A and B are shown apart, each in its own frame.
Chain A
Amino acid sequence: MAYNFLIVDDSITTRTIIKKILQLSSIEIGELHEAADGEEALEVLQNKWIDLVFADINMPRMNGVEMVQRMREDGMLKSIPVVIVSSEGSETRIEEMMAKGIKAYLRKPFTPENIKELAESILNLDKRGE
């Protein structure tokens, strides 16, 4: 089974790194979509089937906090798992995001293993041995 990912970050460098990590992993990739902010991400989510979202917090136009909030208010999008990938390390912020229903919070800079293991865990690939 192939999985579709959405990577949301205003840094093209970070989007490129996450894409490379996923492409080099053993995860079967269907489509890799990108968005530079929360607004663009919601547009993609409305039009494409997405299995997992990696999203930054601080972005222009719409940040990751509002994007997650909007997803949770939308019946079609609320069950899509989101991993926040941010330079912020405030415990208050992490608790706030976990309360909004994100699956995990990963602090930048991350390692390739961080991304790969989180994706496998959330998609239950580690348990299935895929």
Chain B
Amino acid sequence: MSDYASALEKVFHEILSKYAMMFGEPAGEADFVYKPENVYVRSDVGFKGQYSGTMSVASTKGFCFVLAANVLGTEPEQECAKTGSGCDAMKEFINLTCGHFVTEAFGKQATADLTPPDAFIIGSNEWEEAVKSADVKFMVEGMPVAVSVNVEGTGRAK
């Protein structure tokens, strides 16, 4: 767990509730055991500036659908939530979380350019690695979400 876990946890809950009206709950280790019936997804974003680093969010494809549906005001089963919107909503979620993390961790004067976020399907090994390296882990509507941040250089969180 990094020095930035508390800042990350704060912004994760804030963005999840304000952006998608969803809420994270405490999770146990068993919730993060790989299940072959699930499709797992990871989204990455980078930030560059006075402070540089990367952030990753890993979860299931189902989480992306529910996220898109909540943001767009539709049902997760509807086509608009299931197609590209699920992936896009996940990318926008990590973009918002990272943008807020920079000011929460480094102060209101800190600037950083965010790289365009990416989202892709991952297998069991990548899922297990994402869980192992996570700074914060939650259950969101019954789905596991693991978030990690890596900060380069010597800057420390306030």
Binding site for B on A (CB under 8 A): 10-14, 16-17, 20, 58-60, 63, 86-93, 108-109
User: CB distance A16 to B72 under 8 Å?
Assistant: yes
- Say yes or no: A13-B92 contact (C-beta < 8 A), given A58-B116, A90-B109: yes
User: CB distance B116 to A59 under 8 Å?
Assistant: yes
Taking residues whose C-beta sits less than 8 angstroms from the other chain, chain B's interface range is 20 to 34
Query: How many inter-chain residue pairs (CB < 8 Å) link A and B?
Result: 68
Inside 8 A of A108's CB, which chain B residues have their CB?
19, 96, 99
Bound-state Cα–Cα, A113 to B104, Å: 25
User: CB distance A17 to B71 under 8 Å?
Assistant: yes
Binding site for A on B (CB under 8 A): 15, 18-19, 68, 71-73, 84-85, 88-89, 91-92, 95-96, 98-100, 102-103, 108-116
Measured between C-beta atoms, what is the minimum distance from A76 to chain B in Å?
A: 28
- Say yes or no: A92-B109 contact (C-beta < 8 A), given A13-B71, A17-B71: yes
User: CB distance A93 to B72 under 8 Å?
Assistant: no
User: CB distance A14 to B92 under 8 Å?
Assistant: yes
For the residues of A in contact with B, the DSSP-based class is loop
- Say yes or no: A11-B109 contact (C-beta < 8 A), given A87-B98, A109-B19: no
> Residue of A at shortest CB range from B103?
A89
- Say yes or no: A11-B108 contact (C-beta < 8 A), given A17-B72, A87-B100: no
> Residue of B at shortest CB range from A14?
B92
Inside 8 A of A11's CB, which chain B residues have their CB?
88, 91-92, 95
Inside 8 A of A20's CB, which chain B residues have their CB?
73
Q: List 12 A-B contacts (CB under 8 A).
A: A13-B71, A13-B89, A17-B71, A17-B72, A58-B99, A58-B113, A63-B113, A87-B95, A88-B111, A89-B100, A90-B108, A109-B19
